[in-house]
Amino acid sequence: MNTIPEQNFLTAEKGLKSWLTTLDHKRIGILYLISITFFFFVGGLFALMIRLELMFPQDEFFIKLDDFNQVFTLHGVIMIFLVIIPSVPAVLGNFVLPLQLGAKDVAFPRLNLASWYLYMFGASFALFSIFTGGVDTGWTFYAPYSTTIDRSVISMTMAVFIIGFSSIFTGLNFIVTIHKLRAPGMTWFRMPLFAWSIYATGILQVVATPVIGITVVLLVLERLLGIGIFDPTMGGDPVLFQHFFWFYSHPAVYIMILPGMGIISETITAMAHKNIFGYKAIAYSSLGIAFTSFLVWGHHMFVSGQSEFAAMVFSFLTFFVAIPSAIKVFNWIATLYKGSISLDTPMLYTFSFLILFTIGGLTGLFLGTLSVNVTLSDTYFVVAHFHYVMMGGSIIAFLAGLHYWWPKIWGRMYNEKLAKIACGMVFVGFNVTFISQFLLGLKGMPRRYATFTSEFAQLNGFSSWGAFLLGAGLLLTAIYLIHAVYKGKPAGNNPWGALTLEWTTSSPPPHNNFEKSPTAHYGPYDFDKIVVESTLDD
Amino acid sequence: MSEHSTPHVLPLRVYLGIGAILLIFTIITVIAAQIDLGFLNIVIALAIATTKALLVAFFFMHLYYDNKLLFLIFASSIFFLTVLISLTMFDTLRRGDIYEIRDINIEQDAIIYDESSSVGADTSGTNH
Amino acid sequence: MEASYSDRPKHLAHHFAESKQQYDSAKLGMWLFLLTEVLLFGGLFLAYSVFRAWYPETFVNANKELNVILGGLNTIVLITSSVTMALAIRSIQLDRKEATLKYLFVTLLFAFTFLVIKYFEYSHKFHEGQLPGKFYTFEGIDGTNPHIFFSVYFMMTGLHGLHILGGIGVITWMMIRVRKNEFSSQYYTPLELTGLYWHLVDMIWIYLFPMLYLIR
């Protein structure tokens, strides 16, 4: 029978103050988890409001036409800047990375806590903006609309600026941690692939995020002082804003998906009990994705009026991103071959990820093609595509990671039966929601419209019902995960029989992570050399 | 156990010498700017600035003596900045150029661009 | 590898095995931060490049309104302050605390000098109405959209000036810590990181000066 160790990081100190002043990377991860989950549900509520409005063709079925623009903007801003970008690195990266490396903490614990406070500070700006006029620009804040409307654009963009710095510091911290704090024996090529993906993500965070910082500063100055560099009537260039914006926001797509890909490398090996196929190919493809992502931002601007020659180059370069992404998918599939696969919840989410991400990635190739893009841009096809990548990729991978590491974080197991039901609801709900939107887009329904003609009614209705199912699945997930924290049955140190270092310490881990400093004697996935039994009771 | 068991102390003359070179370059760049050399002016100004920046990085910031990883980070910041500026300017400098090419190369031969036919009218309508 | 607890120097945090690891981590982190600074300014370099290429005449004519003497003087001030900053670190490497304090103080003086000169430049521009964007009222520059040049000028020098201000704060803090005897040749990492920051601010000005004051 498993028990919870009396001395662990959760019991090391007591009281709210000990949490708010903690320098322990595990506790900071949990602080992020709580705040991000809160905003995930706020963003989710906005999504359901959109789907309610679009359930039937009549105008103002649920919200006023004016408010509709605000609702989809807030859904986008909250989900992207407050949820998906920090989700995997800040929650699971914080909790798991030092454990996987055999380190006692991240390189700069105080900076780590400061990142969380910056995140909360930025989030409060976002909330302030919502209550003082909101924004209806779309999450992209395109000039000149964003520089001329009478709404609280400034506080929302300052939120983006501040959260950007939180993201920079997190990435910087992790890069240094990976360089300098690996345990003895933990060579670069003995690192778990999750650490590789966090490393690649860190590069993106550090290089790309300052550019969104200066972008929103320029936007604020444009509003306050009319500096004119985005204003065509003053000789400025609104398309320049889009260059600025997408130089960050395209790499940001990979800030969202790369850590998710790292999680999949972990769960797929642990659940198939098999060494990863093509370790180096997966590791290097993370860096390849990170590098290529800086060269393709113009594919968001094919219809913006940018030079056709630039569009051709950007379209051409875009296809190169497909190569490292495909390398990863093929290697994961090859890993499954002749594996001894357990169909636990993390594995079900992993399969969901493989299916959804492949669909999202392949439809990206349609959109990267110049001629097809002109037809499909600003339709629901685009909306469905990026939801397949961000929700079907990042969030599903995040859920896979949460289910995989939940017994490590709390020492307790969730109800597997409920988890599998919820996973099914999420998968079915998600596909119903967004396959309908692919079809809507192909039929020509434009995005960001509060109303539509009756020919789109049936598919929109489908989409809305799918969204409600998806929402119910996520709510169920939250309920049984929280229940497990208090009432779950103890899971033991290694419920999945995995080999990475975080499973060698107790669950929950002690304050200093390991009783004695670990040494990496073997690779992270050497299942052919070492046999570890699952510590789950049944 | 000291953090700098053997701190790398450069001789005083290195710092003063580099400082003197930087000041001399500053004067050279001001003088060079007073002479009209056309396109060369900006090349010279940026070349001198880059030399000065590298001197600061290599000696004042010790990159010359430090771990090569730090130099790689510094170099990659310049690399990504170059990507940002060059790809963006590839757009801003060539905007609208497509119309010139169409006039020269396509319109004369290709029937689809014939303004009188309905197909041609549609095409030009979306392009302009 | 791990030293027993009593051997550990005071500055060594619990999660590092030895001082060298901590020092290398701090330095790596600082260089990554400098990378973010380069890209932060990079956005403004991009704006400069785009508009300079679009309105070359305006930029050449508008640039004549800037004072090369004051700009050059500021360049000299900043370069000299970089030298004194480097010497401050050299002094602490040799355990000469008094000299460190002296050099830091001189660096601080140069930083203030820079800001004072900048103040005179700015107030002259304000007086002439050579202001950014819609506040631009000056009528002596040939070329289209001269206000764009001043938008770019004020954003670049303004952001740089903010970094000088930040530097002043950090250098003051470092002086306090030197006075409290927190640094020695055994441990001076924060001082070295401050130096790296200050040199980067200098380096950015090395580019701003020819780009803004010397174009023709």
Q: What is the pLDDT of residues B14-31, one digit of tens each?
A: 999 999 999 999 999 999
Q: What is the pLDDT of residues C149-158, one digit of tens each?
A: 999 999 999 9
CB spacing of C36 vs A209 below 8 angstroms: yes
**In terms of CA atoms, which chain A residue is nearest residue B69?**
A179
**In terms of CA atoms, which chain A residue is nearest residue C31?**
A172
What total number of domains does chain B contain?
Answer: 1
As a residue count, chain A comes to: 538
* Integer Cα distance of A524 and A266 in angstroms: 9
Which pLDDT score is estimated for C1?
A: 40
Q: What is the pLDDT of residues A56-115, one digit of tens each?
A: 988 888 888 888 999 999 999 999 999 999 999 999 999 999 999 999 999 999 999 999
DSSP secondary structure, B2-23, as one string: -TTSS--PPPHHHHHHHHHHHH
Q: What ipTM did this prediction achieve?
A: 0.94
**In terms of CA atoms, which chain B residue is nearest residue C21?**
B3
**Cβ atoms of C43 and A198 closer than 8 Å:** no
What's the pLDDT band for B3 if we cut at 50, 70, 90? very low
Give a three-class secondary structure readout of A22-82.
CCCHHHHHHHHHHHHHHHHHHHHHHHHHHHHHCCCCCCCCCCCHHHHHHHHHHHHHHHHHH
Taking the domains of chain A in order of start, what are their residue ranges?
Answer: 29-503
Q: Which residues of A touch B76 (CB under 8 A)?
A: 207
Which pLDDT score is estimated for B68?
A: 92
Which pLDDT score is estimated for C144?
A: 86
Least confident of A4-18, A389-403, A523-537: A523-537
Flag whether B60 is in a domain.
Answer: yes
**pLDDT (mean) for A300-329:** 94
Name which of C35, C36, C74 to mutate to probe chain B: the one with the most chain B Cβ atoms within 10 A of its Cβ.
C35
Domains of chain C, each with CATH number or no CATH: 17-213 (1.20.120.80)
Comparing CA positions, the residue from A22, A36, A27, A57 lying closest to residue A445 is A57
Closest residue to B81, CB basis, from C19, C38, C72: C38
The reply to whether A250 touches chain B by the CB within 8 Å rule is no
Q: Is the pLDDT of residue B126 over 50?
A: no
**pLDDT (mean) for A314-332:** 95
Q: Is the pLDDT of residue A184 over 50?
A: yes
Q: Is the pLDDT of residue B128 over 60?
A: no
* Integer Cα distance of A252 and A209 in angstroms: 8
What's the pLDDT band for B105 if we cut at 50, 70, 90? low
Flag whether B21 is in a domain.
Answer: yes
**Cβ atoms of A146 and A219 closer than 8 Å:** yes
Which pLDDT score is estimated for B78?
A: 95
The reply to whether B86 touches chain A by the CB within 8 Å rule is no
CB spacing of C210 vs B78 below 8 angstroms: no
Flag whether B2 is in a domain.
Answer: yes
CB spacing of B94 vs A310 below 8 angstroms: yes
Q: What is the pLDDT of residues C27-47, one digit of tens each?
A: 999 999 999 999 999 999 999
Name which of B13, B35, B61, B90 to mutate to probe chain C: the one with the most chain C Cβ atoms within 10 A of its Cβ.
B61
- In order of A45, A153, A467, the CA distances from A78 in angstroms are 11, 14, 18
CB spacing of B23 vs C82 below 8 angstroms: no
The reply to whether C56 touches chain A by the CB within 8 Å rule is no
Tell me the nearest-neighbour CA distance from B78 into chain A, angstroms. 11
Flag whether B47 is in a domain.
Answer: yes
Q: What is the pLDDT of residues A246-268, one digit of tens each?
A: 999 999 999 999 999 999 999 99
Closest residue to C216, CB basis, from B36, B59, B70: B36
Q: Is the pLDDT of residue B42 over 80?
A: yes
What's the pLDDT band for B122 if we cut at 50, 70, 90? very low
Comparing CA positions, the residue from A282, A290, A389 lying closest to residue A328 is A282
CATH superfamily for A29-503 is Cytochrome c oxidase-like, subunit I domain (1.20.210.10)
The reply to whether A211 touches chain B by the CB within 8 Å rule is yes
* Cα angle value A316/A319/A321 (rounded, 5°): 130
CB spacing of A307 vs B98 below 8 angstroms: yes
The domain containing residue B12 runs over which residues? 1-64
- Mean per-residue pLDDT over chain C, rounded: 92
Q: What is the pLDDT of residues A338-353, one digit of tens each?
A: 999 999 999 999 999 9
DSSP symbol at B105: I
Strand, coil or helix: what is A114?
A: helix
Q: Is the pLDDT of residue A397 over 70?
A: yes
Q: What is the pLDDT of residues C161-200, one digit of tens each?
A: 999 999 999 999 999 999 999 999 999 999 999 999 999 9
Which pLDDT score is estimated for B107?
A: 55
Q: Kindly compute the dihedral angle of the four CA atoms of residues A133, A134, A138, A143, in this order, to the nearest 10 degrees.
A: 50
- Mean per-residue pLDDT over chain A, rounded: 94
Q: What is the pLDDT of residues C63-96, one digit of tens each?
A: 888 999 999 999 999 999 999 999 999 999 999 9
CB spacing of A210 vs C36 below 8 angstroms: yes
Q: What is the pLDDT of residues C113-142, one digit of tens each?
A: 999 999 999 999 999 888 888 888 888 788
